[in-house]
Chain A
Amino acid sequence: MDPGNKKPLAGCIILYNPTDSAIKNIESYLDFLNVLYVIDNTECVDEKLVKEIKLLDSKIVYVHQGENKGVASAINTGAALALSSNYQWLLTMDQDSNFLGSDFFDSWHTNINDTVGLIAASYTDKYDRWQKDYSELYNEIHFAVTSGNIINLKLWEAIGGFEEKLFIDEVDHDYCLKLRKYGFKILISKKKLMKHMVGELYDRLENGSAKSKTFILHSPLRYYYISRNVLYLCKKYFFTDFDFVICRFYYLIKTLVKILLKYPDKVVYLSFFFEGIKDFALSKYNKHGH
């Protein structure tokens, strides 16, 4: 294919109580898109910020969901919009990620075919053990996180989209597992192409430990979704992908130990964590408390 003929690309960004940094992030990739669907999950929107976002460019389509319907539902909304406008590829973004230059947009469309379900921009230089060589710039991988991915909308439709009842955590894992279950490929850039802020960096210096170790600290409610959804996935893919089940179960135990040993407000975090386990046992999904 002539490298000059790029594939048309739509994008969607999911907002939830965004800050000004969302605008800077959007600007890092807006030029490479035909259209950007801004899906706002915020209940009480910041009118001023929304206006600023709308004024960024005429290619922005703003959709207010009215209530927080979760990440999965928001991406599905964006994907349905893009598909109805005949796009085959959709960039999915969260409000905390931005791109480092244009490399991703210059290269994602080379060497791909209809069996590629998702192409991710890496936000780390490190390769994990799952990766294997695919092309000069991309590796094949088992999982990608929800932000900074270009998804194949034909396959999105074919595999039934993102699992809305999971609401937030593990939505990305579920989608990747589904893709791979049907034999589709997930690619990731070999180079670090984006910056992604996950949760808040929590500095444990005040404990007086020798090493100043920072780690990611989500809001307590997220631990409800993490425990519930990880268990759901472990159940769902128990027979199709046992490797994954082992890994995620280990991760869950690790998280629990981490809360017990390192977290502030342990009681709050633990109560959400166990509520998640309880709702998994009761098969209660969707939004917390609904």
Chain B
Amino acid sequence: MYQKKVSVIITTFNGSKYIKKQIDSIFAQSILPGEIIVCDDHSSDETVTLLNSYANNDILKIHVNDKKLGVVGNFKKAAKIAKQGNWLVFADQDDIWIPQKLQKLVDAMQAIDDNITPALVYSDLTIIDKDDNVIYESFWDKQKIRPEKINLATLLYGNIVTGCTMIINYPMAEEFFLMDTIDYLHDEWLSLIAYSFGKAKFLNEKLVLYREHEYNVTLSENYKPLGIIDNIKTEIDYLSGKRKFLARQFELANAFLVKYHDKLNAAQIHIIENFIKQEDDNYLLKRFKRRITYS
């Protein structure tokens, strides 16, 4: 028996193509969520009509925004609508969950949630294309991510937690409510909390079939497939100083430090300050530092 109920939060925007598969895969879970909150960000396609075909289902609750809030703002709205105290599980609009996903996330969260410390559990995923064919079996293998090596210092160089694999407890949800910027994604923000004054746990299992296609709303630059020529172009831009390496990461680290200075301990502040200090370092030096931090 679980001490908490689970709310799945989904944000949709013109997602009519795959939303049914996503919702059906949630209804096929081995444990069901207490509620599924869908916030539609003012879609102009059939998303809402499709969602309404589930209308006499007690679990699914649909909200349509009057004006566009953006991905993070919309997720925040959904999180606030969810029943207070529930664990929150994030879902995208075009993925497929494997049937044991909720069960595994809930079991893991059960083990670490103390009702005080913000906690986050996440997992690996499989990348599929528009016809459900597997492109990459493991996102982590493909990105050479070793989650057991992740800590605050490594996380500052780039987020590895994918929103659609996350479950968070209520104290973490409260931190999410307080996230006052929409310049950053909720997953990168919450993972910094988890790996600093919160708790983080990963499951080395692929619990989501993540769909990569032309309509993706958030597609991280990191795994947008780039050609060799594009790669060389980027390298030249970095070397010539035309593009700043890790620019966004420095902004994120800064914003995070400002917001949570009081909650972080001396060592954590030191790690973040050290990271920010290298902002004006040479590109090659930064790359080198990133490399040694990871290994």
Q: A residues engaging B (CB < 8 A)? A: 1-2, 4-8, 34-35, 58-59, 61, 80-81, 84-88
Q: How many A-B residue pairs have CB under 8 A?
A: 49
Q: Is the CB of B1 within 8 A of A35?
A: no
The one of A1, A6, A34 that contacts B29, using a Cβ cutoff of 8 Å = A34
What's the minimum C-beta distance from A13 to chain B, rounded to whole angstroms? Answer: 16
For A59, what are the chain B residues with a Cβ–Cβ distance below 8 Å? 30, 99
Chain A residue with Cβ nearest B30? A35
Q: Is the CB of A84 within 8 A of B29?
A: no
The complex places the Cα of A48 from the Cα of B208 at a distance, in Å, of 33
For A88, what are the chain B residues with a Cβ–Cβ distance below 8 Å? 58
The complex places the Cα of A5 from the Cα of B27 at a distance, in Å, of 9
The complex places the Cα of A5 from the Cα of B28 at a distance, in Å, of 11
What's the minimum C-beta distance from A62 to chain B, rounded to whole angstroms? Answer: 13
Would you call B56 an interface residue if the criterion is a C-beta within 8 Å of the partner chain's C-beta atoms? yes
Q: Is the CB of A34 within 8 A of B28?
A: yes
The complex places the Cα of A80 from the Cα of B1 at a distance, in Å, of 8
What's the minimum C-beta distance from B282 to chain A, rounded to whole angstroms? Answer: 51
For B30, what are the chain A residues with a Cβ–Cβ distance below 8 Å? 34-35, 58-59, 61, 85
The complex places the Cα of A152 from the Cα of B169 at a distance, in Å, of 30
Chain B residues 1-24 with CB under 8 Å of chain A are 1-2, 5-6, 20, 24
Q: Is the CB of A86 within 8 A of B99?
A: no
Would you call B31 an interface residue if the criterion is a C-beta within 8 Å of the partner chain's C-beta atoms? yes
Q: Is the CB of B56 within 8 A of A1?
A: yes
Q: Is the CB of B5 within 8 A of A86?
A: yes
For B54, what are the chain A residues with a Cβ–Cβ distance below 8 Å? 2, 5
What's the minimum C-beta distance from A286 to chain B, rounded to whole angstroms? Answer: 24
Chain A residue with Cβ nearest B98? A58
Q: Known interface pairs A34-B32, A59-B30, A59-B99. Does A86 touch B1 (Cβ–Cβ under 8 Å)? A: no
A-B interface, 3 closest residue pairs, ranked by CB to CB distance from nearest: A85-B31, A86-B32, A2-B53
Beyond the given A1-B55, A34-B29, please list 16 additional residue pairs across the A-B interface where CB-CB is below 8 A: A2-B54, A4-B20, A4-B53, A5-B57, A7-B57, A8-B27, A8-B32, A58-B99, A61-B30, A80-B1, A81-B1, A84-B1, A84-B2, A85-B31, A86-B6, A87-B32
The one of B5, B20, B34, B100 that contacts A58, using a Cβ cutoff of 8 Å = B100
Q: Is the interface of A mostly helix, strand, loop or mixed?
A: loop
What's the minimum C-beta distance from B32 to chain A, rounded to whole angstroms? Answer: 4
Chain A residue with Cβ nearest B1? A84
Q: Is the CB of B27 within 8 A of A86?
A: no
Q: Is the CB of B53 within 8 A of A86?
A: no
Q: Which size bracket describes the interface of B in this complex?
A: 20 to 34
Would you call B118 an interface residue if the criterion is a C-beta within 8 Å of the partner chain's C-beta atoms? no
For B5, what are the chain A residues with a Cβ–Cβ distance below 8 Å? 86
Chain B residue with Cβ nearest A88? B58
Q: Is the CB of B28 within 8 A of A86?
A: no
Q: Is the CB of B53 within 8 A of A8?
A: no
For A86, what are the chain B residues with a Cβ–Cβ distance below 8 Å? 5-6, 31-34, 59
Chain B residues 174-211 with CB under 8 Å of chain A are none
What's the minimum C-beta distance from A59 to chain B, rounded to whole angstroms? Answer: 5
The complex places the Cα of A74 from the Cα of B202 at a distance, in Å, of 35
The complex places the Cα of A8 from the Cα of B25 at a distance, in Å, of 11
The complex places the Cα of A168 from the Cα of B43 at a distance, in Å, of 55
Q: Is the CB of B31 within 8 A of A5?
A: no
What's the minimum C-beta distance from A72 to chain B, rounded to whole angstroms? Answer: 19
18 pairs, A vs B, C-beta closer than 8 Å:
A4-B53, A5-B27, A5-B57, A6-B27, A8-B27, A8-B32, A34-B30, A34-B99, A35-B30, A58-B30, A58-B100, A59-B30, A61-B30, A84-B1, A85-B2, A86-B5, A86-B31, A87-B32
What's the minimum C-beta distance from B117 to chain A, rounded to whole angstroms? Answer: 24
Chain B residue with Cβ nearest A87? B32
Chain B residue with Cβ nearest A59? B30
Q: Is the CB of B28 within 8 A of A8?
A: yes
What's the minimum C-beta distance from A256 to chain B, rounded to whole angstroms? Answer: 44
Q: Is the CB of A5 within 8 A of B53?
A: yes
Chain B residue with Cβ nearest A7? B57
For A5, what are the chain B residues with a Cβ–Cβ distance below 8 Å? 24, 27, 53-54, 57
For A81, what are the chain B residues with a Cβ–Cβ distance below 8 Å? 1
The complex places the Cα of A81 from the Cα of B30 at a distance, in Å, of 11
What's the minimum C-beta distance from B107 to chain A, rounded to whole angstroms? Answer: 12
For B20, what are the chain A residues with a Cβ–Cβ distance below 8 Å? 4
For A4, what are the chain B residues with a Cβ–Cβ distance below 8 Å? 20, 53
Chain B residue with Cβ nearest A84? B1
The complex places the Cα of A59 from the Cα of B103 at a distance, in Å, of 11
Chain A residue with Cβ nearest B34? A86
**B 53-69 to A, binary, CB cutoff 8 A, 1 in contact else 0:** 11111110000000000
Chain A residue with Cβ nearest B59? A86
For A1, what are the chain B residues with a Cβ–Cβ distance below 8 Å? 53, 55-56
For A34, what are the chain B residues with a Cβ–Cβ distance below 8 Å? 27-30, 32, 99
